């Protein structure tokens, strides 16, 4: 994990303004997360819950992905409304790094299985995605370790403003951007394979058309979000980078 130091909010130019903006964006993301859950709960019950649906490892993975995101972000939501303290923010920062890595591995696994099924369980597609996915995990681990050794620590700004207001300096942002680049490469391959299937699919197979269409939209959203995350980490000023939802 990255180390963390403590500074006063007045030592960072315009920190109060950026803390306020970050809080708005993070809280908005949390609202979207829980609102989306409420909207899709009836379909979840219809297609995933027993006793009317067969339970298997893929169903468990889908439910785990949903509820890990739902429950795992609760600590961040709570900090929006309570004063932050250095020990709490240190623990939350470390928790956030582990949580994000676990969540990305789980999401990547579901994406891999989906594309693997679209290509008729092709062994070549499976090996390709496993190699790229493993490379992304190794890359992220190396970048985080290198960032820690290079002093890319996170600064916890403790003030009258509620929440854990954490800022990553430029060197930490560069390594974090490189770590997310591996995820972007994996998402790009997933998106390209799905898009290729969308152009080559036979028009008479309605079910497969829907799977490819929805998959293309989903992977497009993943790609855009991860690309935006990399750009923010790499090019934004130190005061704009913040852990959150």
Taking the CA atoms of the chain, what radius of gyration do you get in angstroms?
A: 20
Distance of alpha carbon 193 from alpha carbon 233, whole angstroms: 27
pTM of the model: 0.75
pLDDT of residue 239: 46
Pairing of strands 165-167, 4-8: unpaired
Q: 230-245 burial, b for 16+ CB within 10 Å, e for fewer?
A: bebbbeeebbbbbbbb
Give one DSSP letter per residue of 139-173, joined into a string.
HHHHHHHHHHHTT-PEEEEESSS-B-EEE--HHHH
pLDDT of residue 244: 45
pLDDT of residue 95: 83
Contacts 24+ apart (CB under 8 A), 127-135: 128/189, 129/186, 129/189, 129/190, 132/185, 132/186, 132/189, 133/108, 133/109, 133/186, 135/182, 135/185
Distance of alpha carbon 39 from alpha carbon 150, whole angstroms: 44
Q: What is the pLDDT of residues 160-190, one digit of tens each?
A: 556 666 666 677 778 888 888 988 899 889 8
The Cβ-side half-sphere exposure at 102, using a 13 Å CA radius, reads 15
pLDDT of residue 218: 74
Query: What percentage of the chain exceeds 90 in pLDDT?
Result: 13
* Parts of the chain with a pLDDT under 50: 1-4, 6, 8, 239-240, 243-245
pLDDT of residue 243: 45
pLDDT of residue 54: 78
CA distances from 156 to 53, 80, 146 (A): 47, 15, 20
Residue 218: CB atoms within 10 A of its CB come to 15
Residue identified by tokens 């898009």 is: 195
**Quick check: 116 and 110 in contact, CB under 8 A?**
no
DSSP secondary structure letter of residue 53:
S
pLDDT of residue 245: 46
**Quick check: 120 and 193 in contact, CB under 8 A?**
no
């Amino acid at each position: 994990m990255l180390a963390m130091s403590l500074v006063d909010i007045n030592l960072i130019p315009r920190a109060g303004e950026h803390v306020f903006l970050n809080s708005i964006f993070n809280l908005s993301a949390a609202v979207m997360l829980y609102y989306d859950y409420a909207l899709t709960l009836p379909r979840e019950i219809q297609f995933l819950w027993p006793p009317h649906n067969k339970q298997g490892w893929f169903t468990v993975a889908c439910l785990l992905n949903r509820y890990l995101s739902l429950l795992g972000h609760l600590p961040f939501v709570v900090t929006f409304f309570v004063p932050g303290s250095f020990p709490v923010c240190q623990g939350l920062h470390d928790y956030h790094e582990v949580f994000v890595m676990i969540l990305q591995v789980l999401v990547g696994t579901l994406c891999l299985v989906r594309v693997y099924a679209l290509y008729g369980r092709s062994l070549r597609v499976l090996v390709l995605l496993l190699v790229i996915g493993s490379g992304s995990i190794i890359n992220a681990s190396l970048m985080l370790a290198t960032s820690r050794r290079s002093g890319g620590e996170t600064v916890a700004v403790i003030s009258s403003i509620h929440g854990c207001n954490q800022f990553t300096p430029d060197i930490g942002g560069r390594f974090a951007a490189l770590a997310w680049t591996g995820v972007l490469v994996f998402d790009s391959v997933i998106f390209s394979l799905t898009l290729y299937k969308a152009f080559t699919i036979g028009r008479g197979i309605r079910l497969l058309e829907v799977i490819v269409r929805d998959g293309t939209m989903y992977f497009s959203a993943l790609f855009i979000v991860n690309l935006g995350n990399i750009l923010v980490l790499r090019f934004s000023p130190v005061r704009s980078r913040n852990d959150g939802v």
